[in-house]
Each structure stands twice: as C-alpha cells, then as structure tokens.
Structure 1
Amino acid sequence: MANLPLRRRGIDIFFAIVFAAFTVTSLISDLLPSVGVDFSHPSSNFFVNSNYWYAHDTDPLFMHPPTWMRIITGLSAFGYMPFYVVLVFALVTGRNWIQLPAVVYATMIVTLTGIVVFGVEFFGEPEWRTPSPVKFLLFNLPYVLVPLVLLIRMRRPAPFTRRF
C-alpha cells in the first residue's frame, strides 16, 4: 500500500514542526548544562540568559544539575537532537523505517524525562523541587506528551499509509 501524501497526514505535519522546534531547544538548553556552562546568574549571552531565566524561575535541578542530570541533558543534546533531524526528514518524506527508532526514542523520553526527572522535581530532595509546579509542567509536559503521541502514531506497521 502506498503512503499518503504529507498534506493528507496532518498529524505528521504537526510532528515535523514540533520536532524541528525540539531540535532548536535541545541545542540551546540541553547542550549548555551538558558541557558545564554556568548559568546560575544572569549573563549578557542570550543562550546563557535564557537558561538562567528558565532555571531560576522554574527548575532548580536544571540550574545546578547533578551528574546524572548532565548525562540526561547530554543524551538530549548529542543523541536526541540528531535523531530529531532524521525524524523530521522521515515524517515529511513518509519513510516507514523510522517506526522502530521512533518507538525506542519515545520510550526513552517517557522513561527518563517523564519518570526520573519529573519524579525528582516533584518528590526528590527539597533543594531540587520545583518552586512552581504549574510553570514547570507548562514548560516540560510537551516534551513528554508529544513523544507519547508519536509512540501511539507509530504503533501500526507502515504508519504513513493511513491517517492517525
């Protein structure tokens, strides 16, 4: 069966746009803590200041990441970010081979971000708990929900032959 054209796969257009944005956010926000950039105070550098603004107001764990958190952000910066580029290409061109890698990716995101990071932010050590749970969820829930919906999208063989 032939794949549907992209214009008939609206959910894939949505995913392509969102994962293109995730590529940029991985580059900006996940790369800095992974390589040890200090953003615990305001800076004249736009990227450092953006991370400071987010971490100061929303996520103290991100501002002073322990080693395990730097591993997670490093995985995002050096693993997920290149995958996002490949995923966007596969979504736009309707390449069915992306199905298994997308399922593996979505499972990792839901596990690492959804369980580990959210668990520490809400139930972990007091110095890492988020001062604003609502703000934290607004900023971070899309990074778990969108991959979860992608996982549902990729559940059938040849996912691009039918609409969502």
Structure 2
Amino acid sequence: MNLPLRDRKIDVFFAVLFAAFTVTSLISDLLPTVGVDFSRPTGNFFVDSNHWYAHDADPLFMHPPDWMRIVTGLSAFGYPPFYVVLVFALLTGKNWVQLPSVVYATMIVTLTGIVVFGVEFFGDPATRTGNPAKFLAFNLPYVLVPLLLLVRMRKPLPFTRRF
C-alpha cells in the first residue's frame, strides 16, 4: 500500500520542480535546437530570455555546435513528455516510474553534468568566456534535482515508505 500524497511531501516538491522543468525545457532548449538566432535582443520574450542567459552565463549556448543542438533537442523534445509522466506518477504514487526515473537521471548526469559542464569548464577557452558562477547557478539545479530523484527512487516500491 502506497503512502498518501500528504505523507510524501518530497514527491510534491519533485512534482513542482519537474512541472517547471517541462516549461523551461521548452523555452530555453527549443530555440537553439531549431536554429533561432538569439545573439541579440529582439523584443520577443523567448529570444530575449535565451540571449540574456547565453550572453551572461553560457556563450557556447548562443552559437551551439551540432553536438550541443542534439543535447538541447533531447531536452526540448524528449524530456518534457517524461516530465509530464513523472509528475503524474509522483502525485499518484505509481511505482513503475522508478526505472524510467533512473534512466532519465543517468542521461541528465551524463549529458549535462559531464559533457556540458566539462566543455564549459575544461573545453576550448573560446567557449568559457561566460560567468562560471552564473553558469552554475542556472545549470546546477538541472543536474542536482535529477540526482536527488535518483536517490529518491533508489529502493523498490519508492512510494510505500518514507524518504
């Protein structure tokens, strides 16, 4: 028997964050994936938001190489459907979400945590001209939250016992 949602406040926390990730993935990662130029402000909220982030924190994002467009494409088109399913499963206590959550968290840690952070901090100096503190402030939650989800889903039947 699963614990009621009121006794799983950590799942409410995750549901809120992943609902927000659904929206932010579409706003931030769709534009570089489809090749929208946001190298200068245009008055469009989405373009200007991406310009502000890329200009201040992540210059690589402003002119992404092909491999980065693949990463942002996965984030724009692959992750949001999973986020919707995950939010549903977290709120309703569906234990079958455990394995997909582990796969997702592993992908995020590999693609964002290793590849993107690696390039940002150890790659070509031309891609490291942004502000490292701002880069971490914007991007660390997108790696830490999936890692916390991984910890949350580490035991069989995660919704049957307290975290």
User: 1:71-121: per-residue Cα shift (whole Å, max 9, x none)?
Assistant: 000001110111000000000000000000000000000011000000000
Give runs of ≥4 in structure 1 deviating > 2 Å. Answer: none
Q: Which residue of 2 aligns with 1:112?
A: 111
Structure 1 length-normalised TM: 0.98
In 2, distance between residues paired with 1:163 and 1:73? 35
Offset of 1:131 from its aligned partner?
A: 2.2
Structure 2 length-normalised TM: 0.98
Q: Which residue of 2 aligns with 1:75?
A: 74
Q: Which runs of 5+ in 1 are unaligned?
A: none
Q: Which runs of 5+ in 2 are unaligned?
A: none
Decide whether the 8 Å contact of 1:130 with 1:136 is kept in 2: no
In 2, distance between residues paired with 1:47 and 1:74? 16
Does 1:121 find its partner at 2:120? yes
Does 1:43 find its partner at 2:23? no
Letter in 2 for 1:117: V
In 1, distance between residues paired with 2:127 and 2:4? 46
Q: Which residue of 2 aligns with 1:10?
A: 9
SS of structure 2 residue aligned to 1:65: coil
Taking only aligned residues, the RMSD between alpha carbons, in angstroms, comes to 0.7
Matched residues, percent identical?
A: 81
SS of structure 2 residue aligned to 1:158: coil
